[in-house]
Copies of this chain bind each other. A is one copy, B any other.
Amino acid sequence: MFKQITIIGFGLIGSSIARAIKQNGLTQKLICGDMSRDVCDKVKQLGIADEVYSDLSKSVQGSDLVILSIPVGAMGAVADKIAPHLMPGCIVTDTGSVKSSVMLALQPRLPSKVHLIGGHPLAGTEHSGPENGFAELFANRWWILTPMPHTELLAVEKLTKLFEACGSNIQIMDCEHHDLVLGIVSHLPHLIAYTIVGTATDLEDDVKGEVVKFAATGFRDFTRIAASDPVMWRDVFLNNKDAVLEVLGRFTEDLTAMQKAIRKGDGDYLYERFKETREIRRQIIDAGQANYVYPKQSAEVPAPVAAPRSKSGS
């Protein structure tokens, strides 16, 4: 499918993509580019790439696909480093959680003979680093692609087939719409989770101990989300400012109304609001999105997708 693929940034996501590509035999040569020598050493130890470079300009030479799996805030600087060394006709994609600002950072820096297609796999765990990646991370998860208006359809199809072979379901969207939808389903929940866990962190020590002890009553779900990578999430909020502030504004209005109802003792209002939220849960259950268990935490590892290696020979 691709002769040579370079993945830049070998954290949880990058190293998981590498494992999925190797496991399913989707390229002849897989190259790791990571500016951290520690990460490079770990990747060599783990044996999950054919070649490993801390010099990013070397890592992309001769590759027909380059996947940028780095924090959103680092996209511009990395693009400057690799742009002169990209092969004409090569596809460049990324895995950033915001798309408009990433496309704005990448497009003017990349040569015009390169196909730029934004990407965002909706997958992850609370663990970071190359040692925590696994090939099944993308199985049955969405992978959103945001091609530019002028991107060649053939390039989009090629990338779609690659990620489908990693087990993902592909959804094409434009950048702005992606950022609004993700602002609601992902960025706002993370911001709120970080905030409430922070509020608890500021409590007096004796109460804090009991918060830990009795966390299983609702709070625990928030702490899992709030244990996500702080650099990644800082960059998400700095780079999806408009959409996040928009949905945060709506949320704050609704929370103020709840607060007022509690203060006034308005039981009818609270009951009506609490009742209507059950419906959306039912829809999520119907959509089969309710009960995913991370493979690392249970024995229920999704079956790996059939390796398309045999197909590529036909």
Contacts and interface: CB of A to CB of B under 8 A. Distances in A.
Nearest to A230: B274
Interface in A246-269: 247-248, 250-252, 254-255, 258-259, 261-263, 265, 267
Interface stretch (A61-69, A147-155, A185-193): A185-193
A276 B234 contact: no
A252 to B, nearest CB: 7
Interface stretch (A87-95, A196-204, A301-309): A196-204
A49 to B, nearest CB: 27
Interface in A151-206: 171, 180-182, 184-203
Nearest to A300: B298
Nearest to A291: B297
Contact of A196 (B141, B234, B235, B251): B251
A contacts with B: majority SS: helix
A53 interface: no
Contact of A207 (B184, B217, B222, B273): B184
Q: How many copies does the complex hold?
A: 2
A238 B270 contact: yes
Contacts of A207: 180-181, 184
A211 interface: yes
B292 A216 contact: yes
Nearest to A216: B289
A132 interface: no
A224 B221 contact: yes
B216 A141 contact: yes
A200 B220 contact: no
A275 B233 CA distance: 10
A220 B284 contact: yes
Given A218-B225, A222-B189, A211 B181 contact: yes
Contacts of A275: 230
A241 interface: yes
A53 to B, nearest CB: 28
Nearest to A268: B234
8 contacts: A122-B216, A189-B196, A198-B276, A216-B289, A237-B262, A244-B262, A291-B297, A293-B298
The 4 closest A-B pairs by CB, nearest first: A230-B274, A189-B218, A186-B217, A227-B281
Given A185-B219, A195-B251, A195-B273, 13 more contacts: A122-B217, A185-B211, A191-B258, A192-B192, A199-B250, A201-B276, A212-B287, A215-B284, A216-B292, A223-B284, A224-B281, A226-B274, A227-B277
